[in-house]
Chains A and B, each alone.
Chain A
């Protein structure tokens, strides 16, 4: 391995191969160091793999941030028990495009991660549930999977062991709620993507009533590095509670939007100023949505103070979420931002449980009362009340995901919101 290449593994866990042309081809991927980890993993054995992942402190990179090693620990260790591994490639959280960026260039890192994970968990059937709009990316993954089968990295008796694994790419069809793990399971079962009551949890009773492990693309793709270099090494990056690196998708008012991989704990200021070359347009920062549209907004002041790790952002009343950062300059109307956000949740609510179904629609309506000459003085208070009563009361978190940003904006940008509501325009 060239020095250049080695350096990449010291800087990145996920984007190590991203600069290599045609690395979606298995031979190129392997010559750059790909699948070494898989071979090592098979020699280590399932328990050691799980140990390393646990030690690494890797947290779910899809949005929930739940420790992966712990989640794997809930899973049945019975290798004869029929179980499933689902890779969540539904990536629909507004502002998020990191998984797409990762797999369209380097599908094999995900496949390698899934093979190792499936081997560790004792799963012989895995699915990549990819959002329906990612048609080209699905094709790229399918081709890569075919290459893996040809090399006997998939199928029966992988690497001469008694371990079999089949991976199938399963396309969604346009529904944000299918990114919720039980919504995804329902969709994979051929039904509407409506989340299921929890308990029981998928690790116990998921797809087809059987134990199912659902992990995000980024989470699974980090596994090869962790196996290769050890869980302890993974902790060289990040903070104690938020170890490792994270893919951030940055868009909005920056000169250089895109995906970066940086250690957790990096300051948001550094991301915006250095990696993204600063705020564009008016060049004055107004606010930042730090973790996808479900994450409550941060004021410019908060944004310049905060570090990007789970705890620090939570301390500011928001969440790291999917790591989707939307930067807003001073020309942006926060009322409009809320309008677009609420329209999103209104459109995407699956409709199953009443508080979310009716609440997302009502919030959308209240915000638009001006258009129907129905604005009232206390509309903002009403929105706050409705949002507050949509939280903690539903089958899944979509209701909270609509309510929290609403309350965040009411708390931090109330004046601007009031102006917007009464004029449907800027202040």
Chain B
């Protein structure tokens, strides 16, 4: 694709566009509003919704802009009465058999039909006839719900499973207005939830999110997923009562338009109800609230040893080593074991340590050893003269592996877990718990598999009482 720029004219205004670019893409890239459903920048062109019609000087009839390329000097319009009428009617025909499920549909507030009705419709419907009914409320697996009646047959989901995951799961059966979207078998690809994102209407929705929140009550914060070392750009939706979902954000460097299904769960531990929000002390098999003073008074005099996770931010490692001036034997890095294949060819990587590269760099910079050998050495060195602090990884796919680590801590006099949540049974082994800020409550930087810096932003802070690692180091000293 030529990167050279050419000029075209749209609605009387000159635009700079990339030579050979798709016409609709060129318009959208330049911020021009062109109605469209089936077109998606990450998928091949279908040209079936017939919303993106334009007129071009010298071309006898209007045509869909998604099926055309730019050429120097062309004059295109989508603001004529003729085109506006075509768009209104295309919308009206989309709505002929569409069930008016808005009151119970999760898509309300971010629905393509609602949006365009307000922008291009506002007509009185003449549709008083019996609508075509199709199967609703189908659980098609991988957390996806299918409502075939709401589907506008844009075929985005079919193109996704054909071209992106190449798993060939979605299809459209039957002819005419009985055409129905189906998943022949249960979905079995690792990117199924992208179908929910790309569906312009409430035909494909998330089971996790079903009936939980109205989207107009949600805020979004863009951050980076910490599920593996890929570091996809994502946004987390939340409000006062909790975090509700994760969606991908387009990023040309790493994840394009997509994210994997595992990453969709990274909001689930954020809400206040699931968190630790006070230091806890184990007393007769139960954890009871206590305070920092008590914790640090108790362990006074013992030698502090730290086992850090590989999911902290660059800034956190830096601050830690600045404050905790210690011997090499006192700090080690716990790395999560690989899971699955090294790379699935799309986005998922077997290395689940979100900031391994960052951790290693800062360990070495501070003169410490991030290796597994050092980790094992520290574990064997534990004695009743020690208090060992363990940063519990926020996302833990392999609990067995972590449990093995925890069992090896028994020789230490005191064991303290710095953790965001307390739901794991193995935390019972610890004497104290200290509440840690979750990844989505902090701003900073991590480094992905490709040595690219990925940014983290702080969204809603659900547990103001939780602190960062550096705070506890300071309290210790």
A: which residues have CB within 8 A of B? 175, 177, 197, 199, 346-355, 357-362, 365-366, 369, 372, 374, 376, 382, 389-390, 392-395
Contact (Cβ within 8 A) A353 B86: no
| A389-B67 in contact given A354-B94, A360-B177 (Cβ < 8 Å) | no
Q: Which of B126-134, B191-199, B345-353 contacts A (4 or more CB under 8 A)?
A: B126-134
Residues from chain B with Cβ under 8 Å of A197 in the complex: 45, 47, 64, 67
Considering only CB atoms, which chain B residue lies closest to A366 in the complex?
B129
Q: Whole-angstrom distance from the CB of A81 to the nearest CB of chain B?
A: 23
Contact (Cβ within 8 A) B90 A355: yes
B50 is an interface residue with CB less than 8 A from chain A: yes
For A354, A357, A362, A392, the residue with the greatest tally of chain B CB atoms inside 10 Å of its CB is A354
Considering only CB atoms, which chain B residue lies closest to A346 in the complex?
B176
For A347, A376, A392, the residue with the greatest tally of chain B CB atoms inside 10 Å of its CB is A392
| A351-B89 in contact given A357-B153, A394-B50, A395-B47 (Cβ < 8 Å) | no
Q: Whole-angstrom distance from the CB of B91 to the nearest CB of chain A?
A: 9
Contact (Cβ within 8 A) B176 A349: yes
B212 is an interface residue with CB less than 8 A from chain A: no
Considering only CB atoms, which chain B residue lies closest to A353 in the complex?
B48
Q: Whole-angstrom distance from the CB of B203 to the nearest CB of chain A?
A: 14
A66 CA / B130 CA spacing, docked (Å)? 40
| Residues 59 to 88 of chain B near chain A (Cβ within 8 Å) | 61-62, 64, 67, 85-86
Considering only CB atoms, which chain A residue lies closest to B47 in the complex?
A197
B406 is an interface residue with CB less than 8 A from chain A: no
Q: Whole-angstrom distance from the CB of B157 to the nearest CB of chain A?
A: 15
A365 CA / B129 CA spacing, docked (Å)? 7
Partner of B128, one of A347, A354, A374, A390: A374
A389 CA / B176 CA spacing, docked (Å)? 17
Residues from chain A with Cβ under 8 Å of B96 in the complex: 358-359, 361-362
A408 CA / B30 CA spacing, docked (Å)? 43
Contact (Cβ within 8 A) A358 B49: no
A186 CA / B153 CA spacing, docked (Å)? 19
Contact (Cβ within 8 A) B89 A355: yes
Partner of A360, one of B49, B50, B90, B176: B176
B102 is an interface residue with CB less than 8 A from chain A: no
Interface size range on B against A: 20 to 34
Contact (Cβ within 8 A) B129 A362: yes
Partner of A374, one of B93, B129, B153, B178: B129
Q: 0/1 per residue, B123-142, Cβ < 8 Å to A?
A: 00011111010000000000
B108 is an interface residue with CB less than 8 A from chain A: no
B165 is an interface residue with CB less than 8 A from chain A: no
Contact (Cβ within 8 A) A358 B47: no
Contact (Cβ within 8 A) A350 B129: no
B97 is an interface residue with CB less than 8 A from chain A: yes
17 contacts between A and B (CB under 8 A): A175-B175, A197-B45, A349-B176, A351-B177, A354-B93, A354-B94, A359-B93, A361-B96, A361-B97, A362-B127, A369-B128, A374-B129, A376-B128, A389-B86, A389-B92, A393-B62, A394-B50
Contact (Cβ within 8 A) A395 B48: yes
B179 is an interface residue with CB less than 8 A from chain A: yes
Residues from chain A with Cβ under 8 Å of B391 in the complex: none
Residues from chain A with Cβ under 8 Å of B179 in the complex: 351-352, 357
Partner of A350, one of B126, B128, B176: B176
Contact (Cβ within 8 A) A361 B177: yes
Q: Whole-angstrom distance from the CB of A315 to the nearest CB of chain B?
A: 20
Partner of A349, one of B94, B128, B177: B177
Q: 0/1 per residue, B150-178, Cβ < 8 Å to A?
A: 00110000000000000000001011111
| A354-B48 in contact given A362-B129, A374-B129, A382-B126 (Cβ < 8 Å) | yes
| A361-B176 in contact given A355-B89, A394-B50 (Cβ < 8 Å) | yes
Considering only CB atoms, which chain A residue lies closest to B48 in the complex?
A353
6 further A-B pairs in the complex, CB-CB below 8 A; given A347-B175, A354-B48, A354-B90? A177-B175, A351-B153, A358-B93, A358-B177, A389-B85, A393-B90
Considering only CB atoms, which chain B residue lies closest to A176 in the complex?
B175
A197 CA / B24 CA spacing, docked (Å)? 15
Q: Whole-angstrom distance from the CB of A110 to the nearest CB of chain B?
A: 29
Contact (Cβ within 8 A) B48 A358: no
B53 is an interface residue with CB less than 8 A from chain A: yes
Q: Whole-angstrom distance from the CB of A298 to the nearest CB of chain B?
A: 26
B interface secondary structure, majority? loop
Q: Whole-angstrom distance from the CB of B155 to the nearest CB of chain A?
A: 8
Residues from chain A with Cβ under 8 Å of B89 in the complex: 355, 389, 393
Q: Whole-angstrom distance from the CB of B373 to the nearest CB of chain A?
A: 56
Considering only CB atoms, which chain A residue lies closest to B176 in the complex?
A349
For B45, B89, B97, B175, the residue with the greatest tally of chain A CB atoms inside 10 Å of its CB is B175
| A365-B50 in contact given A349-B177, A350-B176, A351-B176 (Cβ < 8 Å) | no
For A347, A355, A357, the residue with the greatest tally of chain B CB atoms inside 10 Å of its CB is A357
Considering only CB atoms, which chain A residue lies closest to B180 in the complex?
A351
Residues from chain B with Cβ under 8 Å of A353 in the complex: 47-50
A382 CA / B49 CA spacing, docked (Å)? 22
A357 CA / B38 CA spacing, docked (Å)? 15
Q: Whole-angstrom distance from the CB of B64 to the nearest CB of chain A?
A: 8
A357 CA / B90 CA spacing, docked (Å)? 11
Q: Whole-angstrom distance from the CB of B130 to the nearest CB of chain A?
A: 7
| A355-B176 in contact given A365-B129, A393-B90 (Cβ < 8 Å) | no
Partner of A346, one of B93, B128, B177: B177
Contact (Cβ within 8 A) B178 A351: yes
Q: Whole-angstrom distance from the CB of B376 to the nearest CB of chain A?
A: 58
Residues from chain A with Cβ under 8 Å of B132 in the complex: 361
Considering only CB atoms, which chain A residue lies closest to B154 in the complex?
A354
Q: Whole-angstrom distance from the CB of B87 to the nearest CB of chain A?
A: 10
Partner of A357, one of B53, B62, B129, B177: B177
A366 CA / B96 CA spacing, docked (Å)? 12
| A348-B153 in contact given A365-B130, A392-B61, A393-B62 (Cβ < 8 Å) | no
Residues from chain B with Cβ under 8 Å of A348 in the complex: 175-176
Contact (Cβ within 8 A) B130 A372: yes
Residues from chain A with Cβ under 8 Å of B130 in the complex: 365, 372
Q: Whole-angstrom distance from the CB of A92 to the nearest CB of chain B?
A: 13
Q: 0/1 per residue, B43-58, Cβ < 8 Å to A?
A: 0010111100100000
Residues from chain B with Cβ under 8 Å of A390 in the complex: 93
Residues from chain A with Cβ under 8 Å of B172 in the complex: 351
Considering only CB atoms, which chain A residue lies closest to B95 in the complex?
A358
Considering only CB atoms, which chain B residue lies closest to A379 in the complex?
B126
Partner of A355, one of B85, B93, B97: B93
Residues from chain A with Cβ under 8 Å of B64 in the complex: 197
Residues from chain A with Cβ under 8 Å of B45 in the complex: 197
A214 CA / B47 CA spacing, docked (Å)? 23
Residues from chain A with Cβ under 8 Å of B174 in the complex: 351
| A358-B97 in contact given A349-B177, A365-B129, A389-B85 (Cβ < 8 Å) | yes
Q: Whole-angstrom distance from the CB of A158 to the nearest CB of chain B?
A: 40
Residues from chain B with Cβ under 8 Å of A352 in the complex: 48, 153, 179
A72 CA / B232 CA spacing, docked (Å)? 52
Considering only CB atoms, which chain A residue lies closest to B68 in the complex?
A199
The 4 A-B pairs of least Cβ separation, nearest first, read A351-B179, A361-B177, A389-B89, A349-B176
Q: Whole-angstrom distance from the CB of B122 to the nearest CB of chain A?
A: 16
A353 CA / B127 CA spacing, docked (Å)? 19
Considering only CB atoms, which chain A residue lies closest to B174 in the complex?
A351
A389 CA / B87 CA spacing, docked (Å)? 10
Residues from chain A with Cβ under 8 Å of B67 in the complex: 197, 199
Residues from chain B with Cβ under 8 Å of A358 in the complex: 93-94, 96-97, 177
Contact (Cβ within 8 A) B49 A354: yes
Contact (Cβ within 8 A) B129 A354: no
A390 CA / B90 CA spacing, docked (Å)? 9
Contact (Cβ within 8 A) A350 B175: yes
Residues from chain A with Cβ under 8 Å of B93 in the complex: 354-355, 357-359, 362, 389-390
A59 CA / B129 CA spacing, docked (Å)? 43
Q: Whole-angstrom distance from the CB of A199 to the nearest CB of chain B?
A: 7
A355 CA / B62 CA spacing, docked (Å)? 15
Considering only CB atoms, which chain A residue lies closest to B155 in the complex?
A352
